[in-house]
Structure 1
Amino acid sequence: MYAFEIERPSTIADAVKALQSDGAQALGGGQTLIPTLKARLAAPETLVSLSAIGEMQGICLSDQGALCIGAATTHARVAAEAGAHFPGLAHLASHIGDPAVRNRGTIGGSLANNDPAACYPAAALGTGAVIITNTRQIAADDYFQGMFTTALDEGEVITEVRFPIPQKSHYMKFVQPASRFALVGVFVAQYADGVRVAVTGASEEGVFRWSAAEAALSADFSAKALDALSVDADGMIGDLHGSPAYRAHLVKVMTGRAVTAAA
């Protein structure tokens, strides 16, 4: 590690002001940023912690029936409190990392980092969630723009995430055992007007929607609806944990298991 300043504002306005300073970087739960600092892959002069901002914490229902989660809410709290309204999301949160990660990591930090194998991006894209920042609202379909890349501008802060609650949903993850990240993870959500399927961990472009599966499942919400489908291995991640072809195969398998669990 190296010397840096840390600020802990108590309001969103103060956090945004602090982030305008040269060399400032937002700190959510720190589950990605702190290891990055230890490896000296980043060297911000000031860390602006968002953990003390009360208006960025908590879970509630909006007047429109969406589940609203403050960006500084931990994975553990989502796992404990979201289940009454959105069990599929609570299940996802309960399987992120280990207890230490779940009690420190935040939903806003995960979405801002947009790791290609993170779980929350699949939930956000799979439900058509809305990412709320200090300046605007961004639809999930517009938010994710590639590996570690989002629509956030410099100094923009995620303050809340709003999830339309599906009729049925489930997240199925094939776990990479050392990291607990998803080798492949699939979030399936059924709504009155159709089904959304989002995949994480598989593609070099990051989280994506599997449109062919969405069409098939909208007509027949059952695993057998996927029988005639296949996933192209082109553009899939290949590493020591799995080849592109293996990940492409897992996408279909995990989707089928998610549908079966949801149904």
Structure 2
Amino acid sequence: MYAFDIERPTTLAEAVKHMAASEENQALGGGQTLIPTLKQRLASPEKLISLTGIDEIRGICEDDAGRICIGAATTHAEVAAGATAYPALAALAGNIGDPAVRNRGTIGGSLANNDPSACYPAAALGSGATIVTDKREIPADDYFEGMFATALEEGEIITEVKFPVPQKAAYMKFEQPASRFALVGVFVAKYADGVRVAVTGASEEGVFRWSEAEAALASDFSAGAVEGLSLSGDGMISDLHGSGDYRAHLVGVMTKRAVAAAG
């Protein structure tokens, strides 16, 4: 691991100031991805700006629009226990990693990193969530830009995520046993104006919406509605855990399971 300094601000204003001081500074949430990256010498920031001590970006509440608003520094364990008004989201958080990961990792850190196999990107995109930063609000449809790529600008800090609560929703993932990352995960949410289906763990481009399944489920929200639908293995992740074709097949399987669980 490279040598680096660390700052532990207690206010968002302090964190923004530290981030603006140098392009080499990097925000640190729970560190569940960044610390292993540093250990492998794949990143070498001059200074880490820890966000976990900033109370104003931690916690769960409901806004006037009925959305569940979760501070970026809120841990997975806290989401699992506190997001009871959105059961599918709470269940997703409760099945991330192991207890150590859930008690350290944060929702903001996960979304900022946008790992192609992480669970929260599927929840955010599948819910049509809004990612709030210290500068602006970004709809989930505009936020995810590819594997490990997001719309965040240099030094921009996620402060909150706003989730519209659907009529029905569920998340199903086929786990990689060692890491508990999603080999394929599918988040399905039914709203009054339509259905959203977000897939993680499968594509080389990261999380994506399966529009064909959304159209079918909007007409008939049942597992049978996606029978016969399929995705190509082209562009899907292919590694020692499974081929692109295998992952494409799993997308259909997990979608049907998620719809059945939601219904």
Q: TM-score, normalised by structure 2?
A: 0.99
Q: Say whether 1:89 aligns with 2:82.
A: no
Q: Which letter does structure 2 place at the counterpart of 1:27? A: L
- Corresponding position of 1:193: 193
- Corresponding position of 2:79: 78
**1:131, CA displacement in angstroms?**
0.2
Secondary structure of the corresponding residue to residue 20 of structure 1: helix
1:56-96 deviation per Cα after TM superposition (whole angstroms, max 9, x unaligned): 0000000100000000000000001112x000000100000
- Corresponding position of 1:233: 233
Q: Which letter does structure 2 place at the counterpart of 1:141? A: D
Q: Which letter does structure 2 place at the counterpart of 1:127? A: S
* Runs ≥4 residues deviating over 6 A: none
**1:12, CA displacement in angstroms?**
0.9
Q: Which letter does structure 2 place at the counterpart of 1:208? A: F
Cα separation, 2, equivalents of 1:239 and 1:28: 28
1:229-258 deviation per Cα after TM superposition (whole angstroms, max 9, x unaligned): 111111101000000000000000000000
Matches within 5 A, 1:83-122: 83=84, 85-122=85-122
- Corresponding position of 1:170: 170
Cα separation, 2, equivalents of 1:192 and 1:111: 26
Q: Say whether 1:222 aligns with 2:227.
A: no
Number of aligned residue pairs: give it: 262
Structure 2 unmatched ranges of 5 or more: none
Q: Which letter does structure 2 place at the counterpart of 1:207? A: V
Cα separation, 1, equivalents of 2:48 and 2:10: 14
- Corresponding position of 2:61: 60
Q: TM-score, normalised by structure 1?
A: 0.99
Cα separation, 2, equivalents of 1:78 and 1:95: 11
Matches within 5 A, 1:7-86: 7-22=7-22, 23-83=24-84, 85-86=85-86
Q: CA RMSD in A?
A: 0.6
Cα separation, 1, equivalents of 2:254 and 2:2: 42
Cα separation, 2, equivalents of 1:11 and 1:198: 34
Q: Which letter does structure 1 place at the counterpart of 2:181? A: F
Cα separation, 2, equivalents of 1:2 and 1:217: 49
**1:205, CA displacement in angstroms?**
0.3
Q: Which letter does structure 2 place at the counterpart of 1:220? A: D
- Corresponding position of 2:151: 151
**Identity fraction in percent:** 74
Q: Which letter does structure 1 place at the counterpart of 2:42? A: L
Structure 1 unmatched ranges of 5 or more: none
Cα separation, 2, equivalents of 1:96 and 1:112: 16
**1:43, CA displacement in angstroms?**
1.0
**1:2, CA displacement in angstroms?**
3.3
Secondary structure of the corresponding residue to residue 145 of structure 1: strand
Cα separation, 2, equivalents of 1:79 and 1:228: 34
